[in-house]
Amino acid sequence: MLDLKFVRENPDIVKQNIKNKFQDRKLPLVDEVIELDAKARATQTEADELRANRNKLSKQIGALMAQGKKEEAEAVKAQVSADAAKLAELEAAEKELNEKVTKIMMTIPNIIDPSVPIGKDDSENVEIEKFGEPVVPDFEVPYHTDIMERFNGIDMDAAGKVAGNGFYYLMGDIARLHSAIISYARDFMIDRGFTYCIPPYMIRSNVVTGVMSFDEMDAMMYKIEGEDLYLIGTSEHSMIGKFIDTITPEEELPKTLTSYSPCFRKEKGAHGIEERGVYRIHQFEKQEMIVVCKPEESKMWFDKLWQNTVDFFRTMDIPVRTLECCSGDLADLKVKSIDVEAWSPRQKKYFEVGSCSNLGDAQARRLKIRVQGKDKNKYFAHTLNNTCVAPPRMLIAFLENNLQADGRVLIPEALRMYMGGKTELVPVK
């Protein structure tokens, strides 16, 4: 959420930013929120004047009564009563106006970084760099669920009967591989200086609206019926929520957390053929990372965060690339975002396995995450988040890139200690 003062003083910048994000339908909101804010401030000023006058008149009543001037005191009391009724009207109007202002401000997109490429959607995202040499083997690479089935490692039919589409049972060595990747990711991030965290898997509505836009909320979140609780779509939400309504001394920053959690998502929208299997599902697990830092350090942390994901995948010899998200592909709260994509030998192309985002002070402003400087002045922190790894989607890249012609899957050295020393998986079918 933007600073309302910034919107008042820079409406043209805010409107151009909306145009850059191809959200022209929101352009009228800028003038509307400025007008509503002006009314709210005028109403507040009038209310403040009445409150001040009420205090003044109350003192007069006491003085008049002390002087025995009862009739004059009663007249002043009548004026106080009339002002009280007017004040109640003004306070109600002020509350209504401020609620309208807040609702609109929650939908006006954050100002994107000048380095973000301008584009309508993800088809116009820009490749930044490739890491590792993508290889297409001289044998046919099966679909990832077919590879898993060779190890008796997946049962989607049973999961469909138990929970419906978008769920799975992982079994045997494939389930163990899934857990091994999560355990390795945990230790990888701890070794990089992050504090390990297991967060709540449900969060309240004020945290949900603090960390994401309304459109994202509607498309992603599962609501717990009868409760002010939502299942998390990513542990970033509850980790950032940990700092809600806090004031952190500047010298204690940055806060760097890494968390494991299950994640639950509606995943609204059309699903293509490459989104069968475990690519796009309602339940998965993830190792995430977040940073709460001073504004001047967020660019540095942004580069560190996405590099962590690249380094993690490269320790398992999986080729990856980084992709800069264009303006139209950025969620409203994001200032800048880079996707990490892994190589798929079967599809002969890259696909998304992680996303790194700098949200500036948008989440901090909504959640009141503040920093106190050495001069005792307070300001909003910057927040960032990034995916280290999200199996089972990551299993697709792992299995395809480590598959051998005879059906075996090699286990890279980094994972062997988490797999009981195994160097390979041997198919049973």
Give per-residue pLDDT as tens, 103-115. 999 999 999 999 9
pLDDT bin (cut points 50, 70, 90) of residue 162 is very high
User: What is the CATH number for 131?
Assistant: 3.30.930.10
Number of structural domains found in the chain: 2
Mean pLDDT of the residues in the chain: 92
The string of pLDDT tens digits covering residues 337-358 is: 999 999 999 999 999 999 999 9
Co-location of 97 and 126 in the same domain? no
CB within 8 Å of 172: residues ≥ 6 apart = 151, 152, 153
In this predicted structure, the answer to whether residue 91 has a pLDDT above a threshold of 80 is: yes
**Given 73, 105, 137, which residue is the final one in a domain?**
105
Q: Are 310 and 203 members of one domain?
A: yes
Place of tokens 């339908």: 25
429: tokens are: 């079918």
The answer to whether position 218 is within a domain reads yes
The pLDDT score that the predictor gives to residue 72 is 73
Rounded CA-CA distance 77/180 in Å is: 76
Phi, psi of 322 (to 5 degrees): -105, 145
Establish if 389 belongs to a structural domain: yes
Peptide bond into 137 cis (omega under 30): no
Question: How many angstroms separate the CA atoms of 407 and 410, rounded?
Answer: 10
End residue of a domain, out of 55, 74, 105: 105
pLDDT in tens, 269-284: 545 434 568 888 899 9
Cα separation of 147 and 295, whole Å? 46
Instruction: Say how far apart CA 166 and CA 84 lie, in whole Å.
Output: 58
Domain extent, residue 284, equals 122-425
The pLDDT of 20-40, averaged and rounded, is 97
Q: Which pLDDT belongs to residue 273?
A: 39
> Would you state the pLDDT for residue 80?
65
Comparison of pLDDT for 278 and 147, the residue scoring more: 147
pTM of the model: 0.89
Does the residue 348 lie in any domain? yes
Residue 293 above 80 pLDDT? yes
List C-alpha distances in Å: 381 to 219, 244, 250, 298, 336: 27, 11, 9, 9, 16
User: From the CB of residue 20, how many other CB atoms can be counted at a distance below 10 Å?
Assistant: 18
Peptide bond into 392 cis (omega under 30): yes
On whether both 135 and 73 belong to a single domain, the answer is no
Q: What is the mean pLDDT of residues 371-396?
A: 95
**Helices 27-66 & 11-20, crossing angle to 10 degrees?**
140
Average pLDDT over residues 7-29: 97
User: Residue 91 maps to which CATH number?
Assistant: 1.10.287.40
112 domain-assigned: no
